[in-house]
């Protein structure tokens, strides 16, 4: 396959960025999208041009490190992560535009790499169950209803990649937030801190500069792990309950 | 365990090793034997309890004055940071990723073992201990493994309390499955994403401590040097991968939880960034590297499709519970659509060779059998380029079928979906083929390394104040790791072992502060700066990536599934040449004062180029087949692995002896493995 790539290049956080165009030949349909970028970088190094910086690590769709807006879509046209997107989803002769996540709370570090530390700070604000090592009771002493445990698992599969934010016209992280609130709120162990958790996490979310949710749903359709939109309903419901309690 | 006898743990059951062969002569220097200086004694079941009591305590008021550096935020590092933070120590945590949650523990699929005996099927601490030692082919240290089995149950309690959503039964209690060819159901799991859920648990516990102010987290920071002052590990030198700043961090103790080095093979199931640098810099500062040749090769990975391949993806070996593995009987059929190959022309080779275990034989046996089929020319899938045993390039089909047709007939498509849908979906996404309709293709790939930095019972290396946990150390898995025990070890070390041993060391602290201008600190920082400048100054013609690929091809051919004296010697000479070329001809573009992924990679590949040679020397010296290490010269008449306990029941702990291109030779220290609770037996899976 032969492609034309239009790639966002930006030297550092404060530099002015621009789209640069690169022709790329010899792309195999079996390559992952990131392997296609590896090929571009190998070509750039040969030409003496600095390779394109992009985040990636596990390349099996689970670590959440890879990102990229591909032709304006977070993680590209398929419901998966960029590392699991393969070139067979594109056609010979295509032009592909590749940009970093676009959201104020995710500032660009270089080229396609952004800073997502805001997500860590949201977790720090309450995305946990306080259980010091050694203090845990016998695991089976507290049964957890199977359907609730399954819902907890299904939303706990969030990989924290930030696609939901990048896809949202408001730059909201409500899907990320709702997934964690639902994961911990569905389990018996998560009940003691349930109401303070939602208040604290929403507060941090807003403090980081993420936007509000207006139920557009782009987040859920961009999510590579298919976190359902109803976690945001759960988030709002828990927040209402907490606020009624005066928290 | 039929035919096995339990022993009291008081009487040695074997003597010290007596090595007669010397294949690696000329490649190493024999050093003094070593022993574990803090090995516990007494009945095996009491050793850890006794030791926890004997280990000294640190007054809570003193803990906040003690600084602990932890490198790596996977299960071992994240769990340790959380636990030591909770205890009130002052923890600094480092990772190269943009968040601690990205560490590669996250990719583990299958599950985590624990001797809970919830199924009342005869499991016990002793049985888990026994299975782990046996699975490791009697090359693990008995004391450490028993402790691992002992704390396994606590791990599950801890994780459930944190909100890890393990699979449950209808009554709301935890579900278990059997895993990795053992006969009890002791594996806890969260669909095919157990590692992810456990890591998120540890990550959240650690972030809670960040909020509490006990843990300071440094993301996008890479450790590039260990600082040793007066014989004690006192800090690290890091590079801030965003600003390029070379920084010094000092502490009372340093913990390496930096994972494994499987990426020395270039293609592996490791994350792209997984590397040996933290461990290797410590090795160069004097820490022994133990059993570096012990590599686990996982039989069920998605095969290579071409030279563009950057990594391999594991398919959980739980697939072997229901899938049948075969290749065509006739070479002429290898290009055919597998559905058109009639039953009588298929060779279900594992079922044929190993009738009692069939498709569930241990990982190393399943892997090697697949390799032999492809070597014979009966592999399937696309032909890929590789280096042949003679050093010349050749084209070979590297794949065997894993067929679900029978399982679909037996369980229905829905039944198969329920068990394996996420794995089969992943396969379809990567290959573009539908595994419900056409057999999957699989091939072995490097997955895990059992070797790592040498540690004692307290997980302390031979450098005082340097502790090593998780995959980065060598201690628990011997020559082969049992399925679902990597997660167990990472969390055991992080939550329960290290916090109980490091306190004994820290009871002597706080140690005298090291000045920022101490000559050792200045020298370490300068060495890193010079190395970084050197990479950028070479300005040769070859990319870093191309060196890594070439090293990987050498390692895979000669130090992969089957190793021979001739092949290993050839590999050593090839690696030496490649390393020399790297240092004169590598091309790294860009600058050092900002994010430069090529520069990061150059440092990692430079270290892999040294490690690869040591792995080959270790493999060359060990003229026996054990676990994941199969030496062509050491097999039975049936072609099965043959161990030599009299010669090799020892841990090979290697001391850095300088670059071999400058005349250096590694020094071998042997630690005899003396068993007191279990007798060594040859494996048989026929």
Domain spans, chain A: 3-110, 116-244
For residue A61, which residues of chain B lie inside 8 Å, CB to CB?
426
Contact B426 A61 (CB under 8 A): yes
For residue A123, which residues of chain B lie inside 8 Å, CB to CB?
203-204, 207
Residue pLDDT, tens place only, A38-95: 999 999 999 999 999 999 999 999 999 999 999 999 999 999 999 999 999 999 999 9
In this prediction, residue B2 carries a pLDDT of 46
Contact A136 B158 (CB under 8 A): yes
Among candidates A78, A159, A189 on the partner chain, residue whose Cβ is nearest the Cβ of B161: A189
Residue B200, SS3 per DSSP: helix
- Cβ–Cβ under 8 Å, residues B80 and B496: no
* CA–CA dist B25, B30 (Å, integer): 10
Note the CATH architecture for domain A116-244: Orthogonal Bundle (1.10)
Distance in Å, alpha carbon of A92 to nearest chain B alpha carbon: 17
Residue of chain A minimizing CA distance to B213: A124
Residue spans in chain B of domains classed CATH 3.90.700.10: 297-447
Contact A110 B594 (CB under 8 A): yes
For residue A9, which residues of chain B lie inside 8 Å, CB to CB?
none
Residue of chain B minimizing CA distance to A141: B173
Q: Between β-strands B215-218 and B90-94, what pairing exists: parallel, antiparallel or unpaired?
A: parallel
Q: In CATH, what class is B297-447?
A: alpha beta
* Token code pair at residue B514: 């090291």
Contact B160 A189 (CB under 8 A): yes
Beta strands, E only, B323-461? 324-328, 346-347, 383-387, 393-397, 400-403, 440-449, 452-453
Closest to B23 (Cα-Cα) out of B662, B618, B554: B618
In this prediction, residue B178 carries a pLDDT of 85
In this prediction, residue A228 carries a pLDDT of 98
* CA–CA dist A62, B594 (Å, integer): 27
Distance in Å, alpha carbon of A173 to nearest chain B alpha carbon: 17
Angle (nearest 5°) at CA B301 between B570 and B289: 45
In this prediction, residue B3 carries a pLDDT of 52
* CA–CA dist B36, B81 (Å, integer): 26
Contact B308 A38 (CB under 8 A): yes
Residue of chain A minimizing CA distance to B88: A132
Rg (CA), chain B: 24
Residue of chain B minimizing CA distance to A191: B163
Closest to B298 (Cα-Cα) out of B490, B195, B448, B424: B448
Q: In CATH, what class is A3-110?
A: alpha beta
Contact A57 B170 (CB under 8 A): no
Among candidates A60, A132, A142 on the partner chain, residue whose Cβ is nearest the Cβ of B313: A60
In this prediction, residue B1 carries a pLDDT of 43
* Token code pair at residue B608: 């892999």
Distance in Å, alpha carbon of A61 to nearest chain B alpha carbon: 9
* CA–CA dist B385, B389 (Å, integer): 13
Contact A28 B308 (CB under 8 A): yes
Q: How many CB pairs below 8 A link A and B?
A: 222
| Neighbour tally for B352: CB within 10 Å | 11
- Give Cα separations from B250 to B61, B253, B520, B579, B629 (angstroms): 21, 9, 12, 32, 39
Hey, what's the torsion of the CAs at B595, B597, B599, B601, to 10 degrees?
150
Residue of chain A minimizing CA distance to B207: A124
| Neighbour tally for B364: CB within 10 Å | 26
* CA–CA dist A150, A127 (Å, integer): 19
Residue spans in chain B of domains classed CATH 1.20.58.100: 519-644
Mean pLDDT by 10 residues, chain B (686 residues): 69 95 98 98 95 97 97 98 98 98 95 96 95 94 97 98 97 90 89 94 98 98 98 98 98 98 97 98 98 96 93 88 94 95 97 91 90 96 90 93 95 89 88 94 96 98 98 95 93 98 96 97 98 97 96 97 97 98 97 96 98 98 96 92 96 98 98 96 75
Distance in Å, alpha carbon of A137 to nearest chain B alpha carbon: 6
Among B363, B368, B398, B579, the one annotated catalytic: B363
- Cβ–Cβ under 8 Å, residues B71 and B218: no
For residue B200, which residues of chain A lie inside 8 Å, CB to CB?
156
* CA–CA dist B45, B39 (Å, integer): 14
**Range list of H helices, A100-229:** 117-124, 146-156, 163-167, 174-185, 194-207, 218-222
- Cβ–Cβ under 8 Å, residues B311 and B272: yes
**Residues in CB range of B595: below 8 A, 6 or more apart:** A12, A53, A109, A110, A113, B241, B242, B244
Among candidates B102, B207, B242 on the partner chain, residue whose Cβ is nearest the Cβ of A63: B102
Q: What is the ipTM of this complex?
A: 0.98
For residue A101, which residues of chain B lie inside 8 Å, CB to CB?
none
| Neighbour tally for A25: CB within 10 Å | 9
Candidates 3.30.750.24, 1.20.58.100, 3.40.640.10, 1.10.3720.10; CATH matching B519-644? 1.20.58.100
Rg (CA), chain A: 20
Contact B99 A187 (CB under 8 A): no
- The distance of Cα B65 from the centroid of its chain, to the nearest Å, equals 34
Residue of chain B minimizing CA distance to A114: B98
Distance in Å, alpha carbon of B431 to nearest chain A alpha carbon: 7
Contact B165 A39 (CB under 8 A): no
Residue B382, SS3 per DSSP: coil
Contact B204 A127 (CB under 8 A): yes
Q: What is the mean pLDDT of residues A172-185?
A: 98
Active site residue B363: yes
In this prediction, residue B9 carries a pLDDT of 84
- Cβ–Cβ under 8 Å, residues B403 and B324: yes
Among candidates A42, A78, A153 on the partner chain, residue whose Cβ is nearest the Cβ of B545: A42
* CA–CA dist B570, B22 (Å, integer): 17
In three-state form (DSSP H/G/I as H, E/B as E, the rest C), the secondary structure along B107-140 is HCCCCEECCCCCCCCCCCHHHHHHHHHHHCCCCC
Residue of chain A minimizing CA distance to B269: A58
Distance in Å, alpha carbon of A206 to nearest chain B alpha carbon: 17
Distance in Å, alpha carbon of A51 to nearest chain B alpha carbon: 8
- Give Cα separations from B218 to B69, B95, B96, B330 (angstroms): 11, 6, 8, 56
Q: Which band of pLDDT confidence, cut at 50, 70 and 90, is reported for residue A198?
A: very high
Q: Quote helix, strand, coil % in chain B, to nearest 5.
A: 40, 20, 40
Q: Between β-strands B466-468 and B253-256, what pairing exists: parallel, antiparallel or unpaired?
A: parallel
Angle (nearest 5°) at CA B136 between B135 and B137: 90
Identify the residue among A57, A61, A129, A207 best suited for mutation to test binding to B, counting B beta carbons within 10 A and taking the highest: A57
Contact A140 B173 (CB under 8 A): yes
Quote the crossing angle between the two packed helices B47-54 and B142-162, to the nearest 10°.
Answer: 80
Residue B304, SS3 per DSSP: coil
* CA–CA dist B340, B80 (Å, integer): 54
* CA–CA dist B317, B325 (Å, integer): 12
- Cβ–Cβ under 8 Å, residues A43 and B88: no
- Give Cα separations from A5 to A27, A46, A93, B444 (angstroms): 12, 17, 10, 34
Contact A63 B598 (CB under 8 A): no
Beta strands, E only, B289-407? 289-290, 295-301, 324-328, 346-347, 383-387, 393-397, 400-403
Residue for token pair 């365990």: B1
| Neighbour tally for B494: CB within 10 Å | 33
* CA–CA dist B172, B549 (Å, integer): 49
- Cβ–Cβ under 8 Å, residues B496 and B238: no
């Amino acid at each position: 396959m032969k492609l034309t790539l239009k790639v966002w290049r930006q030297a550092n956080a404060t530099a002015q960025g621009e789209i640069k165009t690169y022709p790329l030949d010899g792309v195999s349909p079996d390559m992952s999208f990131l392997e296609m970028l590896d090929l571009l970088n190998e070509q750039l190094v040969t030409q003496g041009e600095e390779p394109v910086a992009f985040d990636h690590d596990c390349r099996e769709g689970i670590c959440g490190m890879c990102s990229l807006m591909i032709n304006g879509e977070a993680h590209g046209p398929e419901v998966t992560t960029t590392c699991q997107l393969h070139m067979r989803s594109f056609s010979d002769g295509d032009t592909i535009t590749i940009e970093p996540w676009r959201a104020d709370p995710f500032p660009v570090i270089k080229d396609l790499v952004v800073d997502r530390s805001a997500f860590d700070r949201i977790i720090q604000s309450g995305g946990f169950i306080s259980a010091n090592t050694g203090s845990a009771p016998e695991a089976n002493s507290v049964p957890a209803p199977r359907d609730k445990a399954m819902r907890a698992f299904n939303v706990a599969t969030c990989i924290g990649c930030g696609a939901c934010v990048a896809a949202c016209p408001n730059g909201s992280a409500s899907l990320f937030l709702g997934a964690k609130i639902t994961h911990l709120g569905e389990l018996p162990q998560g009940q003691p801190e349930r109401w303070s958790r939602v208040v604290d996490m929403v507060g941090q979310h807003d403090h980081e500069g993420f936007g509000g949710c207006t139920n557009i749903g782009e987040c859920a359709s961009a999510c590579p792990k298919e976190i359902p939109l109803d976690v945001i309903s759960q988030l709002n419901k828990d927040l209402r309950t907490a606020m009624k309690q005066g928290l | 365990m039929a035919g096995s006898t339990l022993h009291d743990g008081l009487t040695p059951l074997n003597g010290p090793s007596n090595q007669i062969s010397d294949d690696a002569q000329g490649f190493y220097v024999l050093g003094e034997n070593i022993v574990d200086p803090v090995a516990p004694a007494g009945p095996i079941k009491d050793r850890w309890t006794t030791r926890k009591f004997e280990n000294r305590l640190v007054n809570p008021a003193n803990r906040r004055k003690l600084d602990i550096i932890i490198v790596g935020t996977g299960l071992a590092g994240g769990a340790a940071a959380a636990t030591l933070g909770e205890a009130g120590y002052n923890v600094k945590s480092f990772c190269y990723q943009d968040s601690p949650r990205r560490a590669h523990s996250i990719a583990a699929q299958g599950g985590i073992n624990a001797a809970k005996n919830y199924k009342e099927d005869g499991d016990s601490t002793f049985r888990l201990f026994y299975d782990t030692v046996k699975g490791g082919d009697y090359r693990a240290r008995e004391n450490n493994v028993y402790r691992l089995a002992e704390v396994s149950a606590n791990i599950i309690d801890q994780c459930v309390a944190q909100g890890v959503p393990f699979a449950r039964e209808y009554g709301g209690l935890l579900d278990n499955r059997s895993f990795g060819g053992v006969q009890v159901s002791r594996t806890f799991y969260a669909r095919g994403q157990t590692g992810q859920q456990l890591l998120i648990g540890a990550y959240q516990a650690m972030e809670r401590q960040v909020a509490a102010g006990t843990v300071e987290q440094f993301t996008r920071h890479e450790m590039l040097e260990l600082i040793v002052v007066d014989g004690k590990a006192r800090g690290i030198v890091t590079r801030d991968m965003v600003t390029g700043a070379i920084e010094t961090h000092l502490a009372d103790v340093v913990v390496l939880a930096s994972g494994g080095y499987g990426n020395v093979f270039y293609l592996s199931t490791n994350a792209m960034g997984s590397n040996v640098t933290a461990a290797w810099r410590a090795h160069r500062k004097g820490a022994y590297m133990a059993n570096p040749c012990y590599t686990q090769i996982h039989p069920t990975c998605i095969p290579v499709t071409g030279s563009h391949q950057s990594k391999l993806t594991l398919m959980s070996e739980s697939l072997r519970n229901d899938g049948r593995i075969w290749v065509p009987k006739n070479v002429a059929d290898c290009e055919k659509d597998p559905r058109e190959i009639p039953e009588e022309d298929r060779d279900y080779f594992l079922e044929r060779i190993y009738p009692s275990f069939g498709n569930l034989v241990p990982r190393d046996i399943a892997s090697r059998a697949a390799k032999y089929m492809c070597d014979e020319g009966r592999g399937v899938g696309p032909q890929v380029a590789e280096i042949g045993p003679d050093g010349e390039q050749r084209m070979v089909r590297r794949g065997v079928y894993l067929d679900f047709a029978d399982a679909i007939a037996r369980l229905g498509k829905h039944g198969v979906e329920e068990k394996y849908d996420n794995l089969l979906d992943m396969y379809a996404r990567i290959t573009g083929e539908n595994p419900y309709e056409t057999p999957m293709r699989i091939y072995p790939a490097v997955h895990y390394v059992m070797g790592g930095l040498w540690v004692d019972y307290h997980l302390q290396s031979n450098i005082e104040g340097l502790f090593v946990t998780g995959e980065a150390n060598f201690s628990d898995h011997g020559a082969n790791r049992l399925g679902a025990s990597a997660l167990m070890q990472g969390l055991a070390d992080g939550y329960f072992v290290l916090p109980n041993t490091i306190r004994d060391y820290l009871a002597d602290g706080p140690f005298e502060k090291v000045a920022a201008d101490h000559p050792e600190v200045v020298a370490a920082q300068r060495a890193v700066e010079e190395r970084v400048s050197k990479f950028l100054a070479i300005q040769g013609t070859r990319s870093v990536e191309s060196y890594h690929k070439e090293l990987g091809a050498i390692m895979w051919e000669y130090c992969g599934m089957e190793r021979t004296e001739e092949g290993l010697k050839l590999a050593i000479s090839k690696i030496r040449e490649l390393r020399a070329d790297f240092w004169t001809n590598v091309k790294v573009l860009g600058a050092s004062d900002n994010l430069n992924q090529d520069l990061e990679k150059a440092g990692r590949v430079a270290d892999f180029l040294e490690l690869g040679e040591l792995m080959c020397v270790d493999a060359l010296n060990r003229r026996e087949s054990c676990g994941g290490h199969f030496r062509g010269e050491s097999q039975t008449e049936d072609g099965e692995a043959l161990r030599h306990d009299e010669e090799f029941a020892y841990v090979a702990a290697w001391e850095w002896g300088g670059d071999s291109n400058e005349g250096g030779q590694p020094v071998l220290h042997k630690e005899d493995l003396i068993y007191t609770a279990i007798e060594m037996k040859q494996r048989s899976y026929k």
